[in-house]
Structure 1
Amino acid sequence: MRKVFQTRLSPLATNVGLLLLRLSAGGFMLTHGYPKLQRLLSGEMRFGDPLGLGPEVSLVLAVFAEFFCSILVMLGIGTRLAVIPLIVTMSVAAFIAHGDDPFGRKELALMYLVSYVVLLLNGSGKFSVDQLLGRRK
């Protein structure tokens, strides 16, 4: 019972937790980014413009974050840098695109946002390409 309330962090558990967080947050986000990539490649540029940059630019930025950066996060390549576009995208989704919506509509964006902030603060962990390359990010 004592282990249940233990506050010491196990390095192995921490690194496995970071791996699981990277794979799940990145993989789940791909399900949002891939359809946007398909839309971009087909030339269908209908997309929201929450920042006033134009729908085309907004779509390209969303695809970059949700598809390409998600892959980098899953692999653990430049994780701290890769989560920055994802943090921006999820902040825009939660606080601007769904800003007037009830909590239930912005909840998913907030969950992703928290996950990416945790990865920004902690890096990719031991089980990552960054670690293999000796970058320890």
Structure 2
Amino acid sequence: MKKLFNTNFNLEGMHFMLLVLRVAIAAFMLVHGYPKLQNLISGEPIQFVDFFGIGATASLALAVFAEFFCSLLLLFGLGTRLAVLPLIVTMLVAIFMVHAADAFDKKELACHYLLVYVFLLVSGSGKYSVDHLISRNQIRRRR
């Protein structure tokens, strides 16, 4: 019963859960990004939301960059804090521009993604990531 209400956390458990969170959220977003990538390279006319007034093709390319390529970086934990920035912007666009007039249930998924990406921005990728390997090698070189 004491363990149930213990507020201390296991650091190794936290690193493992950061790995699980990173891999899962990247895989989930790749499901959204891959069809957009296929749409972009298909050569067919592009019908996509023109946010920021830059054109449908450029808007789709930015969404593909964030949802597909940044998700791949996130999957491996490479440049995690930088990789989540375009994903955060993409989710903000989805919430406040694409689904602005929709009910909350249409915005909810983007809000969930946004929450996870902000958490990863603050926490970083954890010990089981390429970021950690790079950081560890840089520390060794300084000595």
Settle same-fold status: TM greater than 0.5: yes
Q: Kindly, what percent of the aligned residue pairs are identical?
A: 57
Shift of 1:51: 2.1
Query: 1:43, 1:120 → 2: CA distance?
Result: 35
The reply on whether 1:35 has 2:69 as its aligned counterpart is no
AA of the residue aligned to 2:3: K
Shift of 1:32: 0.3
AA of the residue aligned to 2:78: I
Shift of 1:134: 2.0
1:131/1:95 CA distance change after superposition, 3 Å: same
Bigger shift: 1-10 or 57-66?
1-10
Bigger shift: 117-126 or 10-19?
10-19
AA of the residue aligned to 1:28: F
Larger radius of gyration: 2
Shift of 1:14: 0.8
Matches for 1:26-65 after TM superposition, within 5 Å: 26-44=26-44, 45-65=46-66
Normalised TM-score (structure 2): 0.91
Deviation string 1:69-117 (CA, Å, 9 cap, x unpaired) is: 0000010000000000000000100111111111100000000000000
Query: 1:98, 1:83 → 2: CA distance?
Result: 21
Q: Over the residues paired in the alignment, what is the CA RMSD in angstroms? A: 1.3
Bigger shift: 114-123 or 41-50?
41-50
Tell me the SS of whatever aligns to 2:89.
Answer: helix
Query: 2:4, 2:20 → 1: CA distance?
Result: 20
Matches for 1:1-137 after TM superposition, within 5 Å: 1-44=1-44, 45-134=46-135
Query: 1:3, 1:49 → 2: CA distance?
Result: 52
AA of the residue aligned to 1:89: T
Query: 1:7, 1:117 → 2: CA distance?
Result: 22
Equivalenced residue count is 136
AA of the residue aligned to 2:115: V
AA of the residue aligned to 1:39: N
Tell me the SS of whatever aligns to 1:134.
Answer: helix
AA of the residue aligned to 2:55: G
